Structure 1
Amino acid sequence: MARDDRPALSRDAVAAVWRIESARIVGALARYTGDFALAEDLAQEALAEALVTWPRSGVPASPSGWLLTVGRRRAIDVFRRRAALDERYAVLAHDQGEDGAEDALWDPDRIDDDVLALMFTACHPALSAEARIALTLRVIGGLTSDEIAKAFLVPTATLQARITRAKKTLAAARVPFAVPAAAERAERLGSVLSAIYVIFTEGSSASSGTELIRVDLAHEAQRLARVLSRLMPEEPEVHGLLALLELTAARFPARTGPDGEPVLLEHQDRRRWDRTSIRRGRAALARAEKAGRGLGAYGLQAAIAGCHAVAASVDTTDWDRIVLCYEALGRLAPSPVVELNRAVAICMASGPAAGLAIVDELAATGALPNSHLLPSVRGELLIRLGRTDRARAELELAIQRCGNQRERAVLERKLADLG
């Protein structure tokens, strides 16, 4: 390998380890220090040191252990500077060892509870809903500020300020780093479920970049949902969310072609769908239904995904049931995206004209002004109705708004096919 290639490969290794392990590292440091905001700062400092050290000295045998060790050393330095030589410092120093040797082994499953505690801390009711999700995406999902800002459709500076305020609020409120007691846990559950869902959504349909699916994020969300389902087995919406994630992820192998290009649902090879993930998803959905309280918003979305999972083709899919599920979902959790999906389902059940009427109503209200979703759906329905001139204008608008290169390429091909 050429010497000039080593720094680039080392930086890639740092980025890969951070993407996979950042939540566990921050969680472990939060447990050691008892300070959520400090833990994230320490992890970021360890990351910065890795970017300098690894290109020069090579990637360590245990990259995650190296980052955690550096973070713990920095924690000791912080407490020294604060002249806080108390029991907390003594424990940290003892754990670190006199020689400061890094952890030889890193067990990613050892601190699942730390990651879950991190989620409940980030979703504390002292924070606004936007701040909870933004902070969770940052410390759990490992997303950059730019990626989170795009998901929220806000400037990056605004998003960064939101995260900074959130950490300061947690510090001022002296929020403990811990999984809360059962009663308090139920109060925060909605925020935690929402955070996991947003992480998975960014993973399953990346808002920007060159890849359609960010499998690392999606799988992290699935893992967190499984941990949460074990912690709160009596909560049907926990199982509903897990079912939704499993059933959606089951289609990942067929959603992209050999070169990473998107493959639309009607063209997917359903033999490539992950049957194990489908079985897990249907089992989780059955547990949600067994509670006897009716399906919540996540459970209804899982039921829709389940209709796709058991169908042999697009034509044999139970579109009438999907329409009913979207109607129920629209009453439980109304949003323009739900209405847009309902329009697609109605198109499949009753024809494109019926679906277009709903999309036109959405457009008239100014819904989803910065999203490519509405014009792309509108363009597709107009194509099916033979209105190519109007369809062309909608697709051009969708291409202009689309931030993901893979999705944009699909729209460009569709536009080119119109001649």
Structure 2
Amino acid sequence: MPEASTSDTATAEAITATWRAESARLVGALTRMTRNVDLAEDLAQDALVAALEQWPGHGIPGNPAAWLMTTAKRRGIDQIRRAETLRRKTAELEHQAREEDPMPDLDAQVDHIEDDVLRLVFLCCHPALTPESRAALTLRLVGGLTTTEIARGFLAAESAMGQRISRAKKTLTEARAEFELPVGADREKRLDDVMAVIYLIFNEGYSATAGDDWMRPDLAQEAMRLARMLADLAPDEPEVHGLQALLELQGSRMAARTDEDGEPVLLEDQDRSRWDELLVRRGLGALRRAEALAARGRPVGRYYLQAAIAAQHARAARAEDTDWRAIAGLYDVLAQAAPGPVVEVNRAVAHGRAFGPDAGLAVLDAVDPDALGDSPAVPSVRGDLLARAGRHTEAVEAFTEAASRTRNAGERTLLERRAQESREALGQAGDPGPQLG
């Protein structure tokens, strides 16, 4: 009995791993054939159910991915055969199931890539969908996550998340979204949307906006996997490699971002021996690929610049070795390339470290206090800069305000701790009080 249980567990793990790795290709190929993302997902799920039923008794096939694809195509053909009005489509599907697609004509003037997964990624990020729906649908169809996993990651009710995904697929149908890659300027714009969705997923996993957990590693890891996939599918786009580099380098710190009690640890206090060296190497390698493309005249943008900033931290063996002047310079360039309040808040941190807290406060004071709504970012950075300037009374007020704004329990604990540290510092030394920055 124990042997059977172990075997069943191994088979279930193999099925899960195969599905996670191949579901995007499976759904993509089926969508190309059926031109219906709902039907494609149903057929893929049918193949998964068949694997769950047959593999434990018959063993894992030699090529699990091909088994799933063949099973899904056969079920699709069977289903369409039952529909009298779709006989012509049956013949087309049978032909596609027997023969590989012809190689595309590689015309240098045609901006087109024949790849089902990339088509699927672009379909999930159709402009008719909201960013939140794009993220959910990408995780579902490209990431292979279940509705339950996605709902848990975004702290949403499973029923609500299921409705969001269903509405997204319905919207694509109503918009008559084509399963074709956009070309030219449209493709460039949609690629930006695809990268933005992957970055959104990573950020929600890296620093959760709400809930009890400081991080949700599963979401961050899935975003890194999607970024690697996108880099493989669009190898000539430096910003795609920049995005992969950024996510790998930031993701390398996740194990060090909490202590043994699960409490958040600031970057400068992290045990860098706990940083994931494999992810660091991957990130720096992706950054080098982006740099090589940039040297050939390909334009770079915010992801490349943020990755270059993350690389400065990755290359510093100790926090005190960090080249903050270089980071401040990169943030100055980023502020020109992708201006916005979030960049300015981070630029204030960099200038505060490079040139002193007053320099950081000067940058922060120029940020519209309402630009980020009720985000804790501005008061938390202000509190940090004030504490470094020895203005502990004001720092306590800033950290307390930031703690009241956050919806994440771990972040609230960190901010309350920093407020208490400023109170203690205030009791130990005189506070110079408000000063002109």
**Corresponding letter in the other structure for 1:302:** A
- The question of 1:393 aligning with 2:397 is answered no
- Equivalent pairs counted in the alignment come to 396
More divergent stretch after superposition (69-78 vs 143-152) = 143-152
CA contact (8 A) 2:259 2:265 kept: yes
- What aligned pairs does 1:98-117 form with structure 2 within 5 A after superposition? 113-117=115-119
Match of 2:87 in 1: 86
**Corresponding letter in the other structure for 2:122:** F
CA contact (8 A) 2:377 2:402 kept: no
Match of 2:270 in 1: 268
Distance 1:216 1:308, change over 3 A: closer
Match of 2:221 in 1: 216
Q: Aligned-residue CA RMSD in angstroms?
A: 4.8
Shift of 1:45: 6.6
**Corresponding letter in the other structure for 1:83:** E
Match of 2:109 in 1: none
Match of 1:177 in 2: 179
Match of 1:102 in 2: none
Gaps of 5+ in 1: 98-111
What secondary structure sits across from 1:224 in the alignment? helix
**Corresponding letter in the other structure for 1:268:** Q
CA contact (8 A) 2:154 2:204 kept: no
CA contact (8 A) 2:46 2:72 kept: yes
Match of 1:135 in 2: 137
Match of 2:193 in 1: 191
Shift of 1:35: 1.9
CA contact (8 A) 2:37 2:169 kept: yes
- What aligned pairs does 1:324-339 form with structure 2 within 5 A after superposition? 324-339=329-344
Distance 1:216 1:151, change over 3 A: closer
Query: Cα deviation per residue 1:201-239 (whole Å; 9 max; x = unaligned)?
Result: 344444456444335313312322321342xx1x33233
**Corresponding letter in the other structure for 2:268:** E
Distance 1:258 1:77, change over 3 A: farther
Partner Cα separation in structure 1 for residue 160 and residue 371 of structure 2: 23
Match of 1:122 in 2: 124
**Corresponding letter in the other structure for 2:24:** A
TM-score, normalised with respect to structure 1: 0.71
Match of 2:34 in 1: 33
Identity of aligned residues (%): 46
CA contact (8 A) 2:199 2:223 kept: no
Match of 2:246 in 1: 244
CA contact (8 A) 2:341 2:371 kept: no
Match of 2:107 in 1: none
Shift of 1:386: 1.6
**Corresponding letter in the other structure for 2:228:** R
Shift of 1:348: 1.1
Q: Could you say which structure has the greater relative contact order, defined with CA pairs below 8 angstroms and 6 or more residues apart?
A: 1
Match of 1:308 in 2: 313
Match of 1:108 in 2: none
CA contact (8 A) 1:20 1:216 kept: no
Shift of 1:181: 5.7
Partner Cα separation in structure 2 for residue 297 and residue 197 of structure 1: 12
Query: Cα deviation per residue 1:11-39 (whole Å; 9 max; x = unaligned)?
Result: x9688776665434432432443322332
**Higher Rg:** 2
Partner Cα separation in structure 2 for residue 180 and residue 319 of structure 1: 40
**Corresponding letter in the other structure for 2:385:** L
Partner Cα separation in structure 2 for residue 327 and residue 156 of structure 1: 42
